[in-house]
Amino acid sequence: MDTTILVESGEAIGYAVVGVIALLGFLLIHLVRRRSDLKKARTAVRLASLSLNEPRQGPVAISSTYRESKTDRWLDWNGQRIAIEGAIEVAAGSKARWQGGVRTYIVRDGEPVIAIGVMSKKAGWALAPSPAEPGVLLYATKPAAAPAPLLPWRAPLFLAICGAIGFFGLYGAGTVLLDVSHASDANPCDDNAQLRYGLAAAIPQFGIRDQALHELQVCAKP
């Protein structure tokens, strides 16, 4: 293996590797956060679906389609209109926004939902909030992941942590590469040892590169 480029440009390559490790770690954290948030939302929807019923008077959970106009909001259950009385509380939405550290879920017109509240029938069916709830609970059947935003402080913190892991991880790898005593007892300048020095030359942390270049210079002497 030719390590010439590592010897010549190892310092830049080493710091670039740290940056790549930090970025990959950051992306992994982001994906894990989204997956965890989506799992919680889907669990909430699944639990809400366990008590589904057809429209009936009293506490009820129904599967329906959310509809809204400029002046009204209602549920469509198999073509029947169910009026929504009072406020709406979206517990799991197909979209979400964050403002002031508070997450607000949103459902849009035409989306399938599970609605939970207290049903009554007058001129037609109507669904009102349960006594202990601030509004009729709506769960989008296909909820969106909406973890807390990474800015302003989460993103720099996660990048710093991942960068530190990459930085010190490369330093640890460098110390292992420079320790050729177990691999080359007879000749500390054999091909295997020089390969290890060449790889270590791409690790600038705490003098690893300088020591590796020194060892290569020693080996190059006749």
Buried b (16+ CB within 10 A) or exposed e, 18-46: beebbeebbeebeeebeeebbeebbebbe
Among 77, 58, 57, 75, CA closest to 66: 75
Q: Are residues 93 and 61 in the same domain?
A: yes
CA distances, 122 to each of 83, 89, 94, 127 (Å): 11, 23, 31, 11
pLDDT of residue 100: 75
Give the structural domain span for 112.
51-140
pLDDT at 221: 72
> Would you state the pLDDT for residue 45?
94
Task: Residue 17: name the closest of 197, 175, 205 by CA.
Answer: 205
The predicted pLDDT at position 183 comes to: 53
Last residue of a domain, one of 140, 168, 198: 140
**Distant-in-sequence, close-in-space partners of 165: CB < 8 Å, separation ≥ 6:** 21, 22, 25
* CA neighbor of 75 nearest in space, from 91, 58, 55: 55
Regarding pTM above 0.75, the answer is no
Task: Pick the last residue of a domain from 112, 140, 168.
Answer: 140
> CA 119, 41, 93, 110 torsion: positive or negative?
negative
Predicted local confidence at residue 84, as pLDDT: 95
Distance, in Å, from the CA atom of 121 to the CA atom of 52, rounded to the nearest integer, reads 18
**From the CB of residue 65, how many other CB atoms can be counted at a distance below 10 Å?**
17
Query: Is the Cβ–Cβ distance between 26 and 162 less than 8 Å?
Result: yes
Query: Is 93 inside any structural domain?
Result: yes
Calpha distance 61→44 (Å, rounded): 13
Return the pLDDT at 46: 94
| Residue 55 covered by a domain | yes
* Number of structural domains in the chain: 2
- 22 and 83 in a single domain? The answer is no
Do the beta carbons of residue 177 and residue 25 sit within 8 Å? no
Last residue of a domain, one of 140, 167, 189: 140
Cα 99 off chain centre by? 19
107 three-class SS: coil
Q: What is the pLDDT of residue 216?
A: 81
Q: Walk along the chain (222 residues) and give the pLDDT tens digit of each residue.
A: 667 777 777 778 888 888 888 889 889 988 999 999 999 999 999 999 998 999 999 999 999 999 999 899 999 999 999 999 999 999 999 988 887 778 889 999 999 999 999 999 988 999 999 998 999 999 999 999 888 877 777 888 888 898 888 888 888 888 888 877 555 555 677 777 778 888 888 888 778 888 888 888 877 776
Domain for residue 63, yes or no? yes
**Domain annotation covers residue 206:** yes
